[in-house]
Chains A and B, each alone.
Chain A
């Protein structure tokens, strides 16, 4: 999925949440309008994947209803980073650079907090 497809996918996920909430009466039109405005402002194209990953965690800052759409993005991002680091570490171990591998793993663990 390229960045633009991904951006639209997030918008669609958010729209789905809005529809459900509106349908169940758990959200009023004003809040839906505010969310739509915020999403359009923040996810304004063009965006790179890195930019999307940076913006995504802020989408539910004011609107907690959106955490259901934000969490999968964060998880996917984490998985991607983990996989990249592991590949890198494996490569380092394979070429005998154990110290560097240890350093990279430590860095990754620290960044996870």
Chain B
């Protein structure tokens, strides 16, 4: 097979040269071409190499790290909440520039403008992505210099594992987390060797070591903030990388050439894509505006370390990583390659943004802390309080719930992680966190694949590749996602509405051009069918961009060995139990069902519905409560005005007021559960 070498320069398009290195000895001409190919980016160096000058490049180009007193001072300043806090940071650039943008192209244009404007925030001293490397080394207490470079390529993972082992021994990492990082670096190192050769051990060691550190660092930092979802190993490795691997296999099966470089670059971009969340401004109390800008910060970190990335992945590899990180929040569902074994920037951009948009479900997004039964019980208290107290939990009550969560944090053995949790609860936790976390229980993603659809696949500028034409080049693909709903999702929908239950998946569904209303109904339909002993069919929602299949069986009903590849079956069962406890004592489900039925069937059938309702809730209510509820039911059919006006100017009728009172009605048993 002909070997393909690539050359690219900052301003010039990629050049590819095919030469038959494997078929015949390299002659002078091939050697000259290889000379050009060997050096990417700097034309002086390329010409020097071609002219026969000795290589003057240093053996490695490290990440920017400055642990001098000045460097440390800079890190301290960028971690000072009084300098980089939410008031100093101001409005998120992403929020400003993406208002009213709908298409992927519009988002990409907006993101480019927002990215340019990040410079102003850097100049204002509220963020500086170039110090992330320094922050990482200082936080982990590791030496940025290259020490003890292994003598063989195979020794790389062993050496990196030794460093990780130290964190395992100090309990900064659990055994499971240690194994997750180790597994990824073993895979990364192998892929890097396949893509860029195993000759330069120093370079491969450096990038593999840095990736282990980046994974560890992000995981540790993630435990100190609650932005509503996991940005540690669960999301990066168990989510995005797992999905990306499935997708790459699927693309290859369909004839698309995913090169070795594409594969390792995808790993790299996924490892880097959420680094922006570690910026001081994003870690400041209520630093949500800065967290929204995390792709800009991450992109700038890559740019600030351009030489490092060019050294490790070539100019085109750098460009691909930078673009994928900067635009990872805006799915571009294009997966074509030109069939060569070079770097396919569009394919990488497409795959990463797609898998990241799918990383919104419980197994990849729910922070570890909320997998604890007691923590989940408190979340449900807060949600119930929100539901019955007009949307906002009174401050004093919220303070008590936070104390409950601090109690859960106290069970954590690792002191750093414990104090991280406490910081997260005190400074980041609010109703938004609760709704986000609960909304992640839609289900789990079992499989991500691509499938061919009708139409030419040349939207991504794939024309004119006759020289490298191949089977998968002109095909058009859509994403195929297989999901298993959780019973928790159905219970949540019953108690607090389907919108909350499917909350985290709505953006994804919208990105994929699907109808989310059908998804909202499905969980309840599966649950209803199960209680009636009926079989429920799987739900399939389709667009030209995606096909999502929601299974007919709840995750909790599946045999543990069937789900062990995705999550710990015991954990999901424990969470499910908490939801059942609350559903048994609460009347939320019954009230929602009653109001839904009246909406669907009209008030004429009120007596029939009311009789059913009484039967279901009699065990949950006192005689007095039942009487009060009955009075409200009677009012549901009264459309006379109360004399008050709603915010939109419409009359508030007796019926509307009764609906609102029913929604907010709270029983003695619910009060006891809430502790009010």
Contact = CB atoms under 8 A, between A and B. Distances in A.
B33 A37 contact: no
Contact of B7 (A8, A19, A37, A39): A19
A112 to B, nearest CB: 30
A33 B44 contact: no
A106 interface: no
Given A23-B33, A32-B50, A12 B11 contact: yes
A36 B28 contact: no
A15 B28 contact: no
Interface string A28-40: 1110110011011
Contacts of B51: 33, 36-37, 40
A9 interface: yes
A18 B50 contact: yes
Nearest to B46: A15
Contact of A28 (B11, B29, B42, B52): B29
B47 A36 contact: yes
Contacts of A30: 28
Contact of B31 (A11, A29, A40, A45): A29
Nearest to A8: B43
Contacts of B11: 9, 12
A88 interface: no
B610 interface: no
B415 to A, nearest CB: 52
Contacts of A45: 44
A16 B50 CA distance: 13
Contacts of B589: none
Interface string A20-50: 0011010011101100110110000100000
Interface in A83-106: none
A41 to B, nearest CB: 9
Given A23-B17, A36-B50, A28 B28 contact: yes
Contacts of B248: none
Given A15-B9, A29-B28, A40 B47 contact: yes
A23 to B, nearest CB: 6
Contact of A12 (B12, B28, B29, B50): B12
B582 interface: no
B32 A32 contact: yes
A15 B33 CA distance: 10
A16 B12 contact: yes
Nearest to B12: A12
B17 A19 contact: yes
B78 interface: no
Interface string B25-47: 00011011100100000111011
A16 B43 CA distance: 10
B15 interface: yes
Contacts of B497: none
Given A12-B11, A12-B12, A37-B51, A19 B36 contact: yes
B47 A25 contact: no
Secondary structure class of chain B's binding surface, majority of residues: helix
Nearest to B52: A33
A25 B29 contact: yes
B48 A19 contact: no
B44 A8 contact: yes
B316 to A, nearest CB: 14
Contacts of B9: 12, 15
Given A19-B36, A23-B17, A23-B33, A40 B46 contact: no
B28 A19 contact: no
Contacts of A32: 32, 50
A89 B652 CA distance: 77
A18 B49 CA distance: 13
Contacts of A33: 32, 50-52
Interface string A48-78: 0000000000000000000000000000000
Contacts of A37: 51-52
Nearest to B13: A16
A39 to B, nearest CB: 6
B43 A11 contact: yes
B66 to A, nearest CB: 26
Contact of A22 (B12, B29, B42, B46): B29
B646 to A, nearest CB: 61
B52 A18 contact: no
Nearest to A1: B11
A25 B28 CA distance: 12
A79 B52 CA distance: 37
Contacts of B7: 15, 19
B36 A29 contact: no
Contacts of B12: 12, 16
A19 B15 contact: yes
A25 B33 CA distance: 11
Contact of A16 (B15, B28, B47): B15
A19 B15 CA distance: 9
Contacts of B29: 22, 25, 28-29
Nearest to B31: A29
Contacts of A15: 7, 9, 36, 43, 46-47
Contacts of B15: 16, 19
A40 B52 contact: no
A32 B49 CA distance: 11
A32 B42 CA distance: 17
Contacts of A25: 29
B36 A18 contact: yes
B19 to A, nearest CB: 9
B34 to A, nearest CB: 10
**Residue with the greatest number of chain B CB neighbours at <10 A, chosen from A8, A9, A16, A29:** A29
Contacts of B17: 19, 22-23
A29 B31 CA distance: 8
A14 B29 CA distance: 17
Contacts of A36: 47-48, 50-51
Contacts of A16: 12, 15
A37 B44 CA distance: 11
Contacts of A11: 43-44, 47
Nearest to B27: A29
A40 B33 contact: no
A15 B8 CA distance: 11
A33 B46 CA distance: 11
A35 to B, nearest CB: 8
User: 6 closest Cβ contacts across the A-B interface?
Assistant: A11-B43, A29-B28, A29-B32, A36-B51, A36-B50, A37-B51
11 contacts: A9-B11, A14-B47, A15-B7, A15-B46, A15-B47, A19-B15, A29-B29, A30-B28, A32-B50, A40-B48, A45-B44
Given A22-B29, A23-B33, A40-B44, 17 more contacts: A8-B44, A11-B47, A12-B9, A15-B7, A15-B9, A18-B36, A29-B29, A29-B31, A30-B28, A32-B32, A33-B32, A33-B51, A33-B52, A36-B48, A36-B51, A37-B51, A37-B52
